[in-house]
Chain A
Amino acid sequence: MKLLSSYLKEMKIASRGFYFYIEIFVAIILLLVILVGVDPNPDSKMVEYIYYDMPEEVYEFIIDKDIKEGKIRQIDDTELELKPVEFEVSNKESGEIISYTYEEKKTVLSKTYQKLNPDTGKVKSTIYILDNEEDIQRLSVTTGDIAATITANEEGEFSYRYFLQGYEKERFSNILYILHTYSPDEVDAQRDLQVVREIGVTERMNNQEAVVPVFVTFAGALMGFFIIMSYIYLDKDEGVISAFAVTPSAVWKYLLSKTFVIITTVVISSSIIVIPIMRLKPNYLLFYMFLMIITYAFAALGLLVASFFDSISKAFGVLYLTMIALMLPAFSYYISSFDPLWLRFFPTYPVLQGFKGILVGQADLAYVLTYSLVFLVAGTLLLALANIRFKKSLSV
């Protein structure tokens, strides 16, 4: 009963403060940005510059074939600006290096095509066809996009010269080499013999939906860590914590009521984003349970850290480094090539994984429940430790 009245009192105080409304305001702004500014299924921004070093009729035959097969489509010609530039092109195999200097700006008109995904019809890349190799080199070096010269000899055999930037991994070069060993028809014939088995029916999140697990994890749960520390220091400044020494109420009730305030705020701000974007996809019971437990655990961590310092300035380094460290798994979430083993030990890694599954409505129940239990136990232990620390020195 005391806990409930303490929570209601804290909620009343929080609702009078600026922060409570900022939290809601930020969530509404973000929702509008996602709904208006993020294309759910955008076209790829990948660009290729190609020079066909072959007779016009061979080039036209290749392009017409690809258009008929639905692999590419022609769009309006594009005016491209070639900047003055100085660069070197090196051939690592032969060790040959050639330097180029272009002092004049130049504008060229390029035939433009879009490479299409036959299944979705979405654009995979935009291809600019230019009249000579110098122009594709200049464009590639200034834009950072790939360029290639495709040559056909008199026997009708093709060869390819790629221009890379130099920072690409060896594996990427290896793929380019190996792709041009057998004709596409031979590769397709052999590829058709492979059996492809789907083990799930999991849906892929679109770009709007993909933002939601990150928001819920970081702007929601993780901010609880930061905000509860701010609440504690505010109360310290105002002597509220010291006042507990002369009241019959236990410190843990005060700490828990603060945590509940954070959980309430996070539930409200997360709902503003999740419900309009994910609609009926998630299992909301599981979602809110997981969200509350995660926020509880991070808030308990914030309380423990706060108990070691007497002002936010002094706690700043620990606070900032902890938040940065906990944000690292977001890189792995967005960059699938980056998923080192050590990153999986960061607590936000399974949180992101859990939210992603829950939000698309295909959660691995055992996984979510296991981690819910882990975070609940860890949060309770952290809260108990924070309680011991605060009890020992109510003024700290």
Chain B
Amino acid sequence: MMKKIIRIFRKDATIATRDAMLIYIIVIPILLAIGILFFAPGVTDSAVKVAMFESDAPAHIEYMENYVQVEQFDSMKEIERRVGKRDDVVGIVPVNEGYEIIVEGNEDQSAIESAEVLNTLFELGATRENTTAEILDFGKTVPPLKTKLVNMLILMVIMLAGMIISLGIVEEKSDNTISAMNVTPVSQNGFIIGKSLLGGFVALGSIVVALLIMGYFDINWLMILLVGLTSMILTFVIGFIQGLGSDDVIEAAAGVKMTMLPIAGSIAGYELLADKWQWTMYWSPFYWAYKANDLILSKAADWGTVLICIAAVTGLSMAIYFISIPKIRKGLS
């Protein structure tokens, strides 16, 4: 039995290599991980942006650059055009003996307040030397936004692996190899496991490599691997249901779009819903996988919570699998 499963796995790996599919699946998460690595510093910068004249006093420009992102322009028209664009940019221009603050009118109130206060402090001559504030920190280096991006990447890899299984099955169907499999000594369960191993292992490997690239060396690896392994079950279930439920590529594509709903919904639910409404997302295995990864990556995980998340991912995935068994059997026959 084991030998046959491994044979199916090796056959799939060979076919995937021939199509460059396996390479894509491995390379894409790594490219995205590198992208996040370069992205993260930019996304955590000051949210306040101001537009100023190039001809403004260098001391004023330099002062403001210490606190906010400054963009310089050579005319009032250019500054007004910049302020009018879709993001929150406040114009600061010298008039008579003071300054005029130019706003579009729809900016976040805190962006306008910050620009006004900082410009006022410049006019007052405030410097860091006369501060009464002291700043201490906990020495953390990973911004939460980076953790969220990495977590989304992990869910994307899971979906990607599900797509490999799904497309693999659709192609087997069009080649009529599934019918051929039914007259071989390979059992249906053996076939399912063999077909799933490739996607699952690739997903797990990609997640580990992506985490290492992004510098997550000191997380609890045992926890992340356990969540990864349970996510593999999720990958199998998605891939099989999508693949066997689709008669052709367009239906598999529709399946991918459908899968995006619970994934995006789970992320949005976890991040945006108030604590008292979090229970509304408990039905989604993606929610539990995202939650477990979030806690592990931000080093706030305890074994009790992680085990509950793992049990939920496994339980829900298995429930979906058992509910879908008749459909899977029908698809395989």
Chain A: residues with CB nearer than 8 A to chain B? Answer: 17-19, 22-23, 26, 29-30, 33, 37-38, 83, 87-93, 117, 119-120, 124, 140-142, 144, 157-169, 171-182, 186-187, 190-191, 193-204, 223, 226-227, 230-231, 233-234, 237, 311-314, 316-317, 320-321, 324, 331-333, 335-340, 352-353, 356-357, 364
- The answer to whether A187 and B21 have CB atoms under 8 Å apart is no
A119 to B107, CA, bound (A): 14
How many Å from the CB of B177 to the closest CB on chain A?
Answer: 15
Query: Quick one: which of A194, A313, A317 contacts B116, CB cutoff 8 A?
Result: A194
Pick out which of these stretches binds chain A: B44-52, B206-214, B219-227, B313-321.
B44-52
Q: What total of A-B pairs shows CB separation below 8 Å?
A: 270
- The answer to whether B98 and A194 have CB atoms under 8 Å apart is yes
In the complex, chain A residues whose CB is within 8 Å of the CB of B121: 178-179, 181-182, 187
- The answer to whether A234 and B248 have CB atoms under 8 Å apart is yes
- The answer to whether B46 and A169 have CB atoms under 8 Å apart is yes
- The answer to whether A227 and B253 have CB atoms under 8 Å apart is yes
With CB as the reference atom, state the residue of chain A lying closest to B247.
A18
A-facing mask of B68-84, CB < 8 A → 1, else 0? 11000000000010011
- The answer to whether B132 and A160 have CB atoms under 8 Å apart is yes
In the complex, chain B residues whose CB is within 8 Å of the CB of A339: 49, 87
- Identify 25 residue pairs between A and B in the complex whose beta-carbon atoms are under 8 Å apart, listed by A's number: A22-B254, A23-B257, A26-B258, A88-B138, A120-B109, A144-B144, A157-B132, A159-B134, A161-B133, A161-B136, A171-B68, A176-B133, A180-B131, A182-B121, A191-B120, A194-B99, A197-B101, A197-B103, A201-B105, A230-B253, A231-B250, A237-B248, A316-B21, A317-B21, A331-B39
- The answer to whether A171 and B136 have CB atoms under 8 Å apart is no
- The answer to whether B257 and A353 have CB atoms under 8 Å apart is no
Verify if B276 is at the interface (C-beta below 8 Å from A): no
- The answer to whether A193 and B98 have CB atoms under 8 Å apart is yes
- The answer to whether A178 and B118 have CB atoms under 8 Å apart is yes
- The answer to whether A181 and B103 have CB atoms under 8 Å apart is no
How many Å from the CB of A20 to the closest CB on chain B?
Answer: 9
- The answer to whether B253 and A159 have CB atoms under 8 Å apart is no
- The answer to whether A317 and B140 have CB atoms under 8 Å apart is no
A165 to B143, CA, bound (A): 9
Pick out which of these stretches binds chain A: B122-130, B185-193, B233-241, B323-331.
B122-130
In the complex, chain A residues whose CB is within 8 Å of the CB of B273: 37
- The answer to whether A19 and B116 have CB atoms under 8 Å apart is no
Q: A182-B121, A187-B117 are in contact. Are A324 and B261 (CB under 8 A)?
A: no
- The answer to whether B100 and A195 have CB atoms under 8 Å apart is yes
Query: Quick one: which of B24, B118, B167, B250 contacts A19, CB cutoff 8 A?
Result: B250
- The answer to whether A321 and B31 have CB atoms under 8 Å apart is yes
Verify if B249 is at the interface (C-beta below 8 Å from A): yes
Verify if B251 is at the interface (C-beta below 8 Å from A): yes
In the complex, chain B residues whose CB is within 8 Å of the CB of A17: 250-251
Q: A171-B66, A199-B103, A199-B104 are in contact. Are A338 and B28 (CB under 8 A)?
A: no
- The answer to whether B167 and A316 have CB atoms under 8 Å apart is yes
A197 to B105, CA, bound (A): 9
Verify if B62 is at the interface (C-beta below 8 Å from A): no
Having A37-B269, A204-B106, one finds 19 other A-B pairs with CB under 8 Å, namely A17-B250, A19-B253, A119-B109, A159-B134, A169-B44, A175-B67, A175-B118, A176-B135, A178-B121, A194-B99, A195-B101, A196-B103, A230-B249, A313-B171, A316-B21, A317-B23, A321-B28, A337-B43, A353-B86
Q: A90-B137, A140-B138, A336-B47 are in contact. Are A18 and B118 (CB under 8 A)?
A: no
